[in-house]
């Protein structure tokens, strides 16, 4: 047996001005062949689980591509086509017997709206009988093309995504059982017409906690896999919705019944899937009374959803509010990082920090913040994740420095990085447990690394700011989204469940 293992992941934010070219993938993950296997073996990533399964079955691994970029704008046409060519090459050559894929589910290229669906459609066209399984991110928007062309699909059940390796082991085993004649996976899928917000998808919170528990209950009752995908809101495509996918063993009616139960529960939860805005000043007043460290979230400028990580609005507000002993991660500003590296630790300087990027899609211009302070730390930005998300993966934030100003220590990076692991502070000379406040440009993923530092979620506060990952639908100009859809249209006007 020879088995194809490939990763092609990007969460595309069509409002983001950050270009998604080959360099964007090289900055986070672009590996091929033996080097790819070496880079991911032993990590908590789907590819590592697929490798383990292949080896347990005595199969040879063919790994043409493991690629992921931090979320950003539409994937450039040439990059998408190159990735498809690399992945499909061994399929075209007829040298593989099965495909184990780690895809995101919200990839949109300049010329292809459903990036994952189109890849798997092409694969199926070349090899009509090839067994194909797929893992998906919880933030998937799908046209269904992917489901029509694969044999078994599963999505992450956790957000932060700490179960990537686990779900790959589960669905990979289903595909091996099919290959060896022990299972006959059949899938059903459907979508509830909701643009849900990722801020409301944390699996420590309702309604996602109960929805993911319901998928586990369906699996306990016999589904080979059951999945609820919340979707990704910051993209302008027709196929938004909260997607349910069920995989039964040979019994299509059972798959459809489980799907319908899950979809009904999703639709029931629709109001809870929408973020309610809160007054940032009120949130800051509450934070001052919360136990240390209180965690503050600049969620509208979150790299992990396509943010530029250089919007200074919330940082300015926190400085003005006079909060002391604040650790902040991260501002991406290569020029400022370079300036700090040049003067070195301990030096004082005045910087025009952040505001490097204009965001025409939301009518926002880059506005740096002039700050005077001192360089607390300089590092090369390289470290390995020890926390539960992306465990074992190497991080590179480029030349990095900590700028201390007015009660705040700001981690300034040269490459985009969402602070989902406490390593972003500890590897830059800041002990997160000793801070009074931790201000993060993140939404939910920060919980992987920082909930252990502050387990009490009532001491975590969202601060509404500006940026292309805003949860304010009035700021995002949706033109292609299918209608009617909740909450852009009232629920009463939507014929669902039909
Ligand atoms: Zn995700």
pLDDT at 445 over 90: yes
Give 156 Cα–ligand 1 centroid separation in angstroms: 8
SS3 letters for the chain? CEEEEEEEECCECCCCCCCECHHHHHHHEEECHHHHHHHHCCCCCHHHHHHHHHHHCCCEEEEEEEEECCCECCECHHHHHHHHHHHHHHHHCCCCCEEEEEECCCCCECCCCCHHHHHHHHHHHHCCCCCEEEEECCCCCCCCHHHHHCCEEEECCCCCCCCHHHHHHHHHHHHHHHHCCCCCEEEEEEEECECCCHHHCCCCCCCHHHHHHHHHHHHHCCCCEEEEECCCCCCCCCCCCEEEEEEEECCHHHHHHHHHHHHHHHHHCHHHHCCCCCCHHHHHHHHHHCCCCEEEECHHHCHHHCCCCCCCHHHHHHHHCCCCCEEEEEEECHHHHHHHHHHCCCCEEEEEECCCCCEHHHCECCCCEEEEEEEEEEECCEEECCCCCCCCCEEECCCEEEEEECCEEEEEECCCCCCCCCHHHHCCCCCHHHCCEEEECCCCCCHHHHCCCCCCHHHEEECCCCCCCCCCCCCCCCCCCCCCCECCCCHHHCCCCC
Burial class of residue 182, CB neighbours in 10 A (0-12, 13-18, 19+): exposed
Tokens 């909450």 label which residue? 487
406 Cα to the center of ligand 1, angstroms: 34
CA angle 382, 297, 406 (to 5 degrees): 75
Query: Is residue 498 predicted with pLDDT exceeding 80?
Result: no
CA distances in angstroms from 378 to 328, 410, 415, 420, listed in the order given: 15, 12, 15, 20
CA of 321 to the centre of ligand 1 (A): 32
Distance between Cα 314 and ligand 1 center (Å): 23
Q: What proportion of the chain, given as a percentage, has pLDDT over 70?
A: 100
pLDDT-derived band at 411, boundaries 50, 70, 90: very high
* Beta bridge partner(s), residue 371: 351
What distance in angstroms lies between residue 448's CA and the mean position of ligand 1's atoms?
A: 13
Ligand 1 centre and the CA of 305: distance in Å?
8
Ligand 1 mean position to 443 CA, how many Å? 11
Distance 67 CA to ligand 1 centre (A): 15
CA of residue 165 to ligand 1 center, whole Å: 14
- The Cα 81–Cα 75 span in angstroms is 10
Residue 63 CA to residue 55 CA, distance in Å, equals 13
Tokens of 471: 């949860």
**How close is the Cα of 139 to the center of ligand 1, in Å?**
5
Tell me the CA–centroid distance for residue 356 and ligand 1, in Å: 26
Distance 293 CA to ligand 1 centre (A): 26
Ligand 1 center from residue 486 Cα (angstroms): 21
How far is the centre of ligand 1, averaged over its atoms, from the C-alpha of 370 (Å)? 34
End-to-end distance of the chain based on CA atoms, in angstroms? 45
**Domain ranges across the chain:** 2-273, 280-462
* CA 375 to ligand 1 centroid distance, Å: 34
Query: 213 C-alpha to center of ligand 1: Å?
Result: 18
Tell me the per-residue pLDDT of 69-111, one tens digit each, with 9 for 90 and over. Answer: 999 999 999 999 999 999 999 999 999 999 999 999 999 999 9
Dihedral of CA atoms 438, 68, 139, 256 in degrees, nearest 10, equals: -150
Residue 201 C-alpha to ligand 1 middle, in angstroms?
Answer: 10
How many whole angstroms separate alpha carbon 366 and alpha carbon 197? 25
What residues are paired with 246 via a beta bridge?
188, 226
What is the CA(181)–ligand 1 centre distance, in A?
33
Residues with beta carbon < 5 A to ion ligand 1? Answer: 137, 139
pLDDT for 497 equals 80
CA of 255 to the centre of ligand 1 (A): 25
**Given pLDDT bands bounded at 50, 70 and 90, which one contains residue 463?**
very high
Residue 278: band (very low, low, confident or very high) from pLDDT cuts 50, 70, 90: confident
What distance in angstroms lies between residue 345's CA and the mean position of ligand 1's atoms?
36
pLDDT value at position 316? Answer: 97
Average pLDDT over residues 431-441: 98
Residue of 494, 495, 478, 497 whose CA lies nearest to 240:
478
CA of 173 to the centre of ligand 1 (A): 23
pLDDT band at 479 (very low <50, low <70, confident <90, very high): very high
CA distances from 171 to 179, 202, 390, 467 (A): 12, 23, 19, 36
Distance 178 CA to ligand 1 centre (A): 28
How many angstroms separate the alpha carbon of residue 342 from the centre of ligand 1? 36
Measure the CA–CA gap between 217 and 242, rounded to whole angstroms: 19
pLDDT in tens, 130-164: 999 999 999 999 999 999 999 999 999 999 999 99
pLDDT in tens, 13-49: 999 999 999 999 999 999 999 999 999 999 999 999 9
């Amino acid at each position: 047996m020879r088995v194809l293992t490939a990763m092609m992941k990007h969460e595309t934010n069509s409002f983001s001005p950050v270009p998604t070219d080959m360099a964007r993938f090289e900055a986070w993950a672009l590996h091929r062949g033996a080097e790819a296997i070496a880079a991911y073996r032993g990590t908590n990533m789907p590819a590592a689980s697929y490798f383990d399964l292949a080896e347990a079955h005595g199969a040879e691994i063919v790994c043409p591509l493991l690629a992921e970029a931090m979320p950003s704008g539409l994937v450039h046409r040439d990059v998408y086509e190159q990735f498809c060519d690399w992945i499909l090459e061994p399929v075209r050559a007829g040298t593989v017997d099965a495909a184990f894929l780690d895809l995101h589910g919200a990839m949109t290229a300049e010329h292809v709206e459903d990036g994952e669906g189109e890849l798997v459609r092409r694969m199926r066209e070349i090899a009509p009988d090839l067994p194909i399984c797929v893992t998906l991110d919880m933030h998937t928007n799908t046209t269904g093309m992917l489901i029509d062309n694969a044999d078994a699909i599963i999505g992450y059940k956790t957000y932060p995504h700490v179960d990537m390796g686990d779900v790959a082991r589960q669905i990979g085993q289903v595909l091996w059982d099919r290959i060896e004649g022990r299972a006959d996976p059949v899938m059903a899928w459907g979508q509830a017409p909701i643009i849900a917000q990722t801020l409301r998808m944390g699996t420590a919170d309702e309604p996602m906690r109960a929805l993911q528990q319901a998928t586990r209950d369906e699996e306990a009752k016999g589904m080979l896999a059951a999945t609820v995908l919340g979707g990704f809101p910051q993209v302008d495509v027709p196929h938004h919705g909260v997607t349910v996918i069920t995989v039964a063993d040979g019994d299509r009616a059972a798959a459809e019944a489980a799907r319908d139960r899950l979809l009904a529960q999703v639709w029931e939860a629709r109001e809870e899937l929408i973020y309610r805005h809160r007054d940032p000043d009120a949130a800051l007043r509450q934070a001052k009374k919360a136990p240390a460290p209180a965690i503050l979230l600049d969620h509208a400028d979150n790299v992990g959803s396509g943010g530029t990580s250089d919007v200074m609005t919330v940082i300015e507000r926190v400085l003005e509010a006079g909060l002391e002993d604040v650790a902040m991660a991260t501002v991406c500003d290569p020029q400022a990082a370079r300036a700090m590296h040049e003067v070195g630790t301990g030096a004082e300087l005045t910087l025009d920090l952040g505001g490097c990027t204009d965001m025409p899609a939301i009518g926002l211009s880059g506005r740096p913040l002039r700050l005077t302070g001192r360089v607390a730390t300089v590092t090369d930005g390289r470290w390995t994740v020890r926390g539960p998300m992306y465990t074992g993966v190497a991080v590179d934030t480029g030349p990095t420095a900590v700028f201390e100003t007015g009660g705040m220590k700001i981690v300034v990076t040269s490459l985009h990085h969402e602070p989902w692991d406490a390593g972003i502070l500890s590897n830059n000379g800041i002990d997160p447990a000793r801070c009074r406040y931790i201000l993060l440009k993140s939404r939910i993923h920060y919980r992987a690394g920082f909930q252990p530092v502050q387990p009490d979620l009532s001491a975590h506060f969202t601060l509404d700011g500006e940026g292309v990952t805003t949860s304010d639908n009035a700021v995002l100009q949706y033109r292609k989204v299918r209608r009617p859809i909740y909450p852009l249209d009232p629920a009463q006007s939507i014929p669902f469940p039909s």
